[in-house]
Amino acid sequence: MLKGKTALVTGSTSGIGLGIAIALARQGANIVLNGFGDVDGPRSQVLEAGKAASIRVGYHGADMSRAGEIEEMMKYAAAEFGRVDILVNNAGIQHVAKVEDFPPERWDAIIAINLTSAFHTTRLALPAMQQANWGRIINVASVHGLVASAQKSAYVAAKHGIVGLTKVTALENATTGVTCNAICPGWVLTPLVQKQVDAKATAQGISNEDATRQLLGEKEPSLQFTTPEELGELAVFFCSAAAGNVRGVAWNMDGGWAAQ
Ligand code: NAD
């Protein structure tokens, strides 16, 4: 379905970004990976997923908090792959503290990585998508783009912000073949959430199993984690012809969290 297209997925060396990269590769898209840590493992998983379509996989290690590095990454993608047809803005970090205790430098980093990076990648990817009259921009927001939780001020602000950016980008391109939509997951058991489970277990002197059960029980009516594979399939849907007129939605996959 996506053979000949190129998808750039930010923060795709782990978790949800890697799940989305694998799902798009399975549909035949070439993939540009980004993110920190081990790259060889994710690269071989993505190559394996796209084996039938003989996809190409690239990597750029741009730090999403730095506009200059984001620009270099977009230039790299254009030079190596011709054009970014599918842009998935997924890189994100988290910090948990009350507003009065929130370290200002963590606030700045969360806004830069979770929100401002998507502005930069989007503004740089749009002209070529508009020229081709085809493009898919998928912003990985969060249920926290729709509702709030205590102690997550920067994260909630950034995720509400990216839902806003999604709607504006969708509107500005509404008469073209370029769509922009957001995905709003609830809990997904990735390294980002594992840290929160570990912190809860330590703070309350309980087992990780009990901390996990509590975490789900507090917010997620389904009492189930969403998986990176399921989110990958949602991204594939947004790239499909059937979703060509789906514009500016913020689609929860949150076990009923935001329905409460
Ligand atoms: P993760 O920690 O598993 O992965 C984050 C990815 O972003 C990694 O590849 C990491 O290297 C990369 N990254 C971090 N800082 C970066 C930077 N400065 N520059 C470039 N790459 C950077 O996290 P995840 O849970 O897969 O989260 C991915 C996205 O999904 C985030 O935007 C997060 O807010 C969102 N999300 C996660 C959950 C969840 O429950 N896990 C729920 C809702 C939304």
pLDDT in tens, 179-199: 999 999 999 999 989 998 999
pLDDT confidence of 41, banded at 50, 70, 90?
Answer: very high
Does residue 259 sit within a domain?
no
- Taking CA 2 as the corner, what is the angle to CA 61 and CA 51, rounded to the nearest 5 degrees? 70
**Are 221 and 259 contacting, i.e. CB atoms less than 8 angstroms apart?**
yes
Q: What is the C-alpha to C-alpha distance for residues 138 and 118, in angstroms, rounded to an integer? A: 10
Atom number, ligand 1, closest to the C-alpha of residue 191: 3
140, 159: one domain = yes
Q: What is the C-alpha to C-alpha distance for residues 176 and 132, in angstroms, rounded to an integer? A: 10
199, 231: one domain = no
Q: Which of 16, 114, 189 to mutate to test the pocket of ligand 1 (most atoms within 8 A of CB)?
A: 16
Number of domains the chain is built from: 2
* CA of 1 relative to ligand 1 center, distance in Å: 26
Atom number, ligand 1, closest to the C-alpha of residue 109: 18
The pLDDT of residue 166 is 99
- Taking CA 96 as the corner, what is the angle to CA 94 and CA 100, rounded to the nearest 5 degrees? 125
Q: What is the C-alpha to C-alpha distance for residues 30 and 6, in angstroms, rounded to an integer? A: 5
pLDDT in tens, 82-117: 999 999 999 999 999 999 999 999 999 999 999 999
Which residue numbers are catalytic?
155
* CA of 186 relative to ligand 1 center, distance in Å: 13
What average pLDDT does range 53-57 have in this prediction? 98
pLDDT confidence of 121, banded at 50, 70, 90?
Answer: very high
88, 197: one domain = no
Q: What is the DSSP letter of 188?
A: B
Please report how the helices 15-26 and 228-239 are oriented relative to each other, as an axis angle in degrees rounded to 10. 50
173, 216: one domain = no
Q: What is the C-alpha to C-alpha distance for residues 28 and 2, in angstroms, rounded to an integer? A: 5
pLDDT confidence of 23, banded at 50, 70, 90?
Answer: very high
125, 214: one domain = no
What average pLDDT does range 76-81 have in this prediction? 98
Q: Which residues of 47-75 are buried (b: 16+ CB within 10 A; e: fewer)?
A: bebbeebebebbbbebbbbebebbeebbe
Does residue 195 sit within a domain?
yes
Q: Which residues of 88-100 are buried (b: 16+ CB within 10 A; e: fewer)?
A: bbbbbbbbbeeee
| Torsion angles phi and psi, residue 248, rounded to 5 | 75, 25
Does residue 95 sit within a domain?
yes
Ligand 1 atom 39, closest CA: 188
Q: What is the C-alpha to C-alpha distance for residues 4 and 22, in angstroms, rounded to an integer? A: 16
127, 82: one domain = yes
Tokens, residue 137: 């921009």
Is the pLDDT score of 171 beyond 90? yes
CATH of the domain at 49: 3.40.50.720
* CA of 175 relative to ligand 1 center, distance in Å: 32
The pLDDT of residue 237 is 98
Q: Which of 34, 36, 89 to mutate to test the pocket of ligand 1 (most atoms within 8 A of CB)?
A: 36
25, 126: one domain = yes
- Which residues constitute the domain of residue 130? 6-186+227-253
* CA of 131 relative to ligand 1 center, distance in Å: 30
Residues in a beta bridge with 70: none
Q: What is the C-alpha to C-alpha distance for residues 192 and 163, in angstroms, rounded to an integer? A: 20
The pLDDT of residue 192 is 86
The pLDDT of residue 58 is 98
Q: What is the DSSP letter of 115?
A: I
193, 182: one domain = no
The pLDDT of residue 225 is 97
Q: Could you tell me how many residues make up the chain?
A: 260
77, 204: one domain = no
Give ipTM to 2 decimals. 0.99
Is the pLDDT score of 221 beyond 90? yes
Tokens, residue 54: 């003989």
59, 134: one domain = yes
What average pLDDT does range 248-253 have in this prediction? 98
Q: What are the pocket residues of ligand 1 if the criterion is a CB atom closer than 6 Å to any ligand atom?
A: 11-17, 34-37, 63-65, 90-93, 113-114, 140, 142, 185, 187-188, 190-193
